[in-house]
Amino acid sequence: MNDQWIPARVDDAVTDVDTPALILDLDRFEGNLARLMSAIQGRGIRVRPHAKSHKCVEIARRQMAAGAIGICCQKTSEAEPFLAGGISDVLISNEVVGDRKTVQLARLAASYPDARLGVCVDDPRAVAQLARACEQARTQLDVYIELDVGHNRAGVADIGAVVALGHSIASHVNLSMRGLHAYFGNAQHLRSIAERRQAITAATATAQAAQRALIAAGLRCDVITGAGTGTFMLEAASGVYTEIQPGSYDLGGSGNIKKKKEIACAAFEQSLMILTTVMSRRKDAQHDRATLDAGLKSFSTDSGPALPAFAGWQVRGVSDEHTVLDRNGAGPDLLLGDKALLIPGHIDPTVNLHDWIVAVRGDRVEAVWPIEARGAIF
């Protein structure tokens, strides 16, 4: 990170923020944190937010202050800045495989002996690699069996294989068997409540069967963790899941907002947007067009381009450094140099393109937070 290119300073007006920049509306952000905790109140469920969405230590601290018990992340290098920033319970909700990577993970655990660091496994060979690395580093890791509950990405689907993995983990003194990682991410993208409920009901049955088999075999299974922003109320109501892992709830989730409203919980507001500047303006008999200074280097397009947060304009095209808008109705008359907000289609990879989050309240900058885990892919 180069401090020379910080997009704003505390107490700047939002209109003075350099662009393109990630803007976090603190009132909406804080409201989202409170809505989640209110939605699960009294259900005996723990919250472990997925920090791969924001990659920002300060946001993780605020999630913990709101009631989270720890965080998830996806890679060892992503976990490191959160441990360094004082987050004392981190689950890498992913497999870490190979001697180089397992040694790095064990060394990280050894560097923070007062913290809990967990990882997922779905293969006995990975268990052996982790145990060997922990023995060399004289440290310990929490281990969760990755259960394939329908996501079809990683994990064990056979109950017998789950029990065998459990015995493999339990055979190593430097690995602590914690439970099951049972995440069904694809279920969040099913359109109807009925479809999502059916998917999570099946996932819950699979997780419960695996838990019962582990306990019957004399093995521990204290935790069943999973659940994303689009389905967490279903897992929370299951009576089987003990933790949920919502990711984009705090930032709004953009494309999933409508779907989240269909679930019986408070709707999350879009708190994270991309601030841009109108860098070119064409208005004549054939065109009413504005070109913004943010493009493919500023937001992900795997879920579609970032969309205007205001009426009257539509995206005509996106290139590396530009988003071109055409007027299509009543809306603001964008002028050269005006600021314009865009809503990202997929938050996680969008955040990964930026160094800073500009936190605003009203029309002033309240804080500028580094995105410490940006680019943490190892």
For the stretch 138-193, pLDDT in tens is 999 999 999 999 888 999 999 999 999 999 999 999 999 999 999 998 888 788 88
pLDDT value, residue 1: 61
Residues in the chain: 378
E strands, 122-164, are 141-146
pLDDT value, residue 253: 65
pLDDT value, residue 190: 84
State how far the Cα of 266 lies from the Cα of 250, in Å rounded to an integer.
12
Low-confidence ranges of the chain (pLDDT < 70): 1-2, 253-266
> In DSSP terms, which residues pair with 364 in a beta bridge?
13, 361
> In DSSP terms, which residues pair with 23 in a beta bridge?
273, 358
Each domain of the chain, given as residue ranges in start order, spans 3-21+269-370, 26-255
pLDDT value, residue 333: 93
Q: What CATH number labels 26-255?
A: 3.20.20.10
Task: Tally Cβ neighbours within 10 Å of residue 180.
Answer: 31
β-strands 175-181, 223-226 pairing = parallel
Question: What does the angle CA 26 – CA 29 – CA 31 come to, to the nearest 5 degrees?
Answer: 110
Residues 6 or more apart whose CB falls under 8 angstroms from that of 331 comprise 310, 311, 312, 313
pLDDT value, residue 258: 46
pLDDT value, residue 266: 57
pLDDT value, residue 285: 87
26-255 matches 3-21+269-370 in CATH topology:
no
> In DSSP terms, which residues pair with 72 in a beta bridge?
50, 91
pTM: 0.94
Tens digits of residue pLDDT in 248-267: 999 986 444 444 445 545 58
CATH fold for the domain made of 3-21+269-370: Lyase, Ornithine Decarboxylase; Chain A, domain 1 (2.40.37)
Contact 70, 89 (CB under 8 A): yes
> In DSSP terms, which residues pair with 71 in a beta bridge?
90
136 by DSSP, 3-state: which? helix
Phi and psi based region of residue 42 (left: phi greater than 0; alpha: psi -120 to 50; beta: remaining): left
pLDDT value, residue 20: 98
